Structure 1
Amino acid sequence: MEAVGDGGMVIGLLYRIYVGVRKSAGWLQRWLTPAGGFVLGGLILTAGISNLEQTTSLAAFLLLLTILMVARLQTLFFRVGFAIERHAPRFVTAGEAFSLRVRLQNTTDRLQRGLEYIESVRDPPVTVSEFAARLRPGRGNRSFRIEAPLPPIRPARVRPVAVPVLPPRGKVEVRVDILAYRRGPLVLTGGWLARTDPFGLVRALRHAAAPQTVLVLPRRYPLPPLSLPGQTQYQRGGVSLAAGVGESEEFVALREYRRGDSLRRVHWRSSARRGQLIVKESQDEYFVRHALVLDTFCEASQDALFEEAVAVAASFACTVPDQDSLLDLLFVGPTTVCVTSGRGVGHAQQMLEVLAAVKPCRESRITELEALVLQHSHTLSGCLMVLLEWDQPRRNLVRRLRALRVPVLVMILVQRGKADTFERGPAEDQPDQLLVLEEGRVGECLQRLEQMR
């Protein structure tokens, strides 16, 4: 227990150092121009090799230090007041650049020239558990074999934008391009107006707050025309009950009351008008309903595969509900989750919002996932499974679904270069269809679905 505690203290210390370095890097990126960054690098290099005996390196160090100090002093006299009005999209996609329209208003009586605008962005936070997972080795990293590196935690990319001449009390509009790499909420906290010193090394900065949040959705892959497995199934209570809302069936017509009819079916307005009991006639519905099962159980060494799995699930979430069917997204997070869309019930956008926030589970809780899937199995026409491993517990789940006569399409994510050596296992464990998706070629591999129709 003491060793675990010491390890937690070390991880906490490293995490604080990581957060501090990341904040410092962001501040330096705003404060220094590319030329200023080059000068700062030279300053650090000459400081490392300088001594009293090597006058050349010492002179270079003093020269670079003087230049930076003079440039910094010239930025201290920068004064500007401004306000921000921003037009941003509500949803964007990870890995795809998007644009903002930002209207800047000069709140002073002075003409402003030579300004730059820098959007202030706060990425989804890196939690201590995410940071610790990258430090602790997974099963694939406990040997001396060279493993694929974990995906980097990349901050959103924002570049300074030149601002036109800003007249006194006037307004101008600029366009800002942002590239977000991580799923989840991207907070636009405000903006910076900057003016570069005459040397072009250091920026003078003034900030204005304008908080706004943009949700970064998972990447999606184009899918070929789909012919999903399964037939229509009886859905007790119709679409309304299928979505878990109320207990009403699909309305057909009104008719006279018959002995045995439930009073809950009485249409009181019509009964009052006719002077006798009138009930609502309903019928049950048969339609296609699929489950989309996302495997969230992985170690840190599989984080890249997990992101690919989320992208695959998002691709199906956007495509299947368009085929006049219901789709249930099933996965295990802090709790079991079921989200339904299609046939006027929910929207694919809601599924994408849920997938934008899904996190990997470091502890395997496959029994909870199995119970969730089997709970819905009696209404399913088919099951789409996006898996990160093909071990015995996952094979058992597929075997149980097949025993219940639920057609299963399994898509398994494997690391780069391991598709050819993938072991499918014994025939009794095989799903109706199995597709191996190799990291780096997922979009290409998904096109094989057309050949499996």
Structure 2
Amino acid sequence: MSGFTVILCLIFAAALGIDTTQNMTYQIFTFLVSILIISTIFSFFFRSRFSATRTLPKFATVGVKLKYKIIIHNKSDQTQLNLKLFENFADPRPTFKEFIETPEPEEYKRTSLDIKLGSYRWLWLVSRKQCGTAKTLELPALKPQSKTEIIGEITPSHRGLMRLVSLTIARPDPLGIFNACQTISAPQSLLILPQLYQLPPIQLPGFSKYQSGGVALASSVGDAEEFRSLREYRPGDSIRKIHWKSWAKIGKPIVKEEQDEFFVRHALILDTFQPEKYSQILETAISLSASLASDVQTQESLLDLMFVGNEAYCFTFGRGLSHTDKMLEILASVGACRDQDFDSIIPVVLEKISMLSGCICIFLSWDEARKKLIEYLEQMNIHTLVFILSENKTDDFDNLQKTEFIKYNLAKFHVLNIHNIQQELMRL
């Protein structure tokens, strides 16, 4: 910061001191130039050699500070003092097309001039693509020919893939104007997961249902129900159920007897349909989905995550099929669906509807298309928990809650203001 101050003063002094016969400002200019020359010459003597490695976890979470280990190797024969360490991110600047087509959220707009110049849009896009900030570290004394371990700190601000390309070790000159720098290549990436909200105990809707083919149908094709016992072969038994080892041991056909499986299976329907590429309401919906997915106990149940991006997706989790971390990893990469209607998610729901115990819907708005889905789930006797997100919780929604929402017998509605989402969730 002091270096920028000196350069600004230098420019100001040069502008005022052009006519040396009228004032003495040129002397200030000469003094500042001398300081800059001395600082620049001093930076040439920074010739130490370093190497560095960092140890990052696989994931981080928006809003949760991440501390990680960095090991710096001083390869010189001198103790290095007064050093700083910077993390360098991959180029976060948006392309011209991204800048033109992506409006910033309303809270980033300040004045009409900002809107015309797009300054806040540029800063917002840079911040979003970078996904976070790293703390500048003051390094301890680095002993000669030795390795020193320090703790770095990154604060994730947006979900997505954070790319780190290098580390820079800097030493300021005695006047604190210039930093002599050495950059160490260290490319790594870190997946930033959506923000997680604290949730009260939520009673999910529905009850156990028969799952044809058992859990195996969620990950492969075939009939694989839960094994119960062995018995002798009866005419009409499937050859696939013959237990060959028992037949070889006893000398007569033995088959496996299985029982039907009943367990709870929920659908988590994430609404991604909006004209904008980014919006705060979509980010809140994704974070709410991640919070519910993390909170739901899937050890004895299944959870189907359904959403539409470039195409319709359905991912099944629980009962050993996949872990919650995998679901969060998927949600970290979800984008808005801008070229399809809400109806495009209905075929995904219909494919699983006969096996569903209940359904959780997270909507960005409330209209005829979303109403149609809830009415269909009602007709199929599917208990539904509906979260409708709103940027402003208006009287319109209050009136809907008193009139339209109460006509559903199996659906429970919650309207949440995204600007006060945590407090409203705790009041559920």
- Deviation of 1:132 (Å): 3.5
Letter in 2 for 1:109: D
2-structure distance, mates of 1:45, 1:270: 95
Letter in 2 for 1:304: Q
What residue ranges of structure 2 are gaps of 5+ in the alignment? none
Aligned pairs (5 A) from 1:34-433: 34-42=1-9, 50=16, 52=18, 64=32, 67-122=35-90, 126=94, 130-135=98-103, 152-153=124-125, 154=127, 155=130, 156-244=132-220, 246-300=222-276, 303-322=279-298, 324-415=300-391, 417-422=392-397, 424=400, 427=404, 432-433=411-412
SS of the equivalent of 2:279 reads helix
2-structure distance, mates of 1:424, 1:65: 70
SS of the equivalent of 1:84 reads strand
- Deviation of 1:102 (Å): 0.6
Match of 2:424 in 1: 445
The structure-2 alpha-carbon separation of the partners of 1:50 and 1:437, relative to structure 1 and needing over 3 Å to count, comes to farther
The structure-2 alpha-carbon separation of the partners of 1:410 and 1:173, relative to structure 1 and needing over 3 Å to count, comes to same
The structure-2 alpha-carbon separation of the partners of 1:414 and 1:107, relative to structure 1 and needing over 3 Å to count, comes to same
The structure-2 alpha-carbon separation of the partners of 1:374 and 1:110, relative to structure 1 and needing over 3 Å to count, comes to same
SS of the equivalent of 1:300 reads coil
Residues 148-170 of structure 1 deviation map (CA, whole Å, 9 limit, x = unaligned): x9893424212221222222211
Task: With the length of structure 2 as denominator, give the TM-score of the two structures.
Answer: 0.85
2-structure distance, mates of 1:314, 1:73: 54
Residues 126-174 of structure 1 deviation map (CA, whole Å, 9 limit, x = unaligned): 5666534324999xx9xx9xx9x98934242122212222222111111
2-structure distance, mates of 1:46, 1:385: 64
CA contact (8 A) 2:374 2:411 kept: no
Task: With the length of structure 1 as denominator, give the TM-score of the two structures.
Answer: 0.81
- Deviation of 1:339 (Å): 1.4
2-structure distance, mates of 1:185, 1:289: 31
**Between the two proteins, what is the percent identity of the paired residues?**
38
2-structure distance, mates of 1:356, 1:302: 13
The structure-2 alpha-carbon separation of the partners of 1:400 and 1:235, relative to structure 1 and needing over 3 Å to count, comes to same
CA contact (8 A) 1:309 1:386 kept: yes
- Deviation of 1:228 (Å): 0.9
The structure-2 alpha-carbon separation of the partners of 1:51 and 1:168, relative to structure 1 and needing over 3 Å to count, comes to closer
The structure-2 alpha-carbon separation of the partners of 1:197 and 1:99, relative to structure 1 and needing over 3 Å to count, comes to same
CA contact (8 A) 1:234 1:285 kept: yes
Match of 1:24 in 2: none
CA contact (8 A) 1:232 1:286 kept: yes
1-structure distance, mates of 2:172, 2:341: 55
Letter in 2 for 1:227: Q
Give the root-mean-square deviation of aligned CA atoms: 3.0
The structure-2 alpha-carbon separation of the partners of 1:55 and 1:228, relative to structure 1 and needing over 3 Å to count, comes to farther
CA contact (8 A) 1:137 1:301 kept: no
- Deviation of 1:205 (Å): 1.0
- Segment drifting more, 195-204 vs 183-192: 183-192
1-structure distance, mates of 2:191, 2:24: 53
The structure-2 alpha-carbon separation of the partners of 1:137 and 1:90, relative to structure 1 and needing over 3 Å to count, comes to closer
Residues 306-364 of structure 1 deviation map (CA, whole Å, 9 limit, x = unaligned): 11111000001101134732111100111211111122221111100000111112223
- Segment drifting more, 56-65 vs 309-318: 56-65
CA contact (8 A) 1:295 1:331 kept: yes
Letter in 1 for 2:154: I
- Segment drifting more, 232-241 vs 111-120: 111-120
Residues 65-101 of structure 1 deviation map (CA, whole Å, 9 limit, x = unaligned): 5544542332123112122232222211012211111
The number of equivalent residue pairs is 407
2-structure distance, mates of 1:438, 1:41: 45
- Deviation of 1:190 (Å): 2.8
The structure-2 alpha-carbon separation of the partners of 1:70 and 1:341, relative to structure 1 and needing over 3 Å to count, comes to same
**In the alignment, structure 1 residue 436 sits paired with structure 2 residue 415:** yes
2-structure distance, mates of 1:359, 1:344: 27
2-structure distance, mates of 1:400, 1:386: 16
- Segment drifting more, 116-125 vs 168-177: 116-125
The structure-2 alpha-carbon separation of the partners of 1:292 and 1:137, relative to structure 1 and needing over 3 Å to count, comes to closer
What residue ranges of structure 1 are gaps of 5+ in the alignment? 1-33
2-structure distance, mates of 1:321, 1:224: 14
2-structure distance, mates of 1:201, 1:97: 30
2-structure distance, mates of 1:377, 1:38: 65
Letter in 1 for 2:404: A
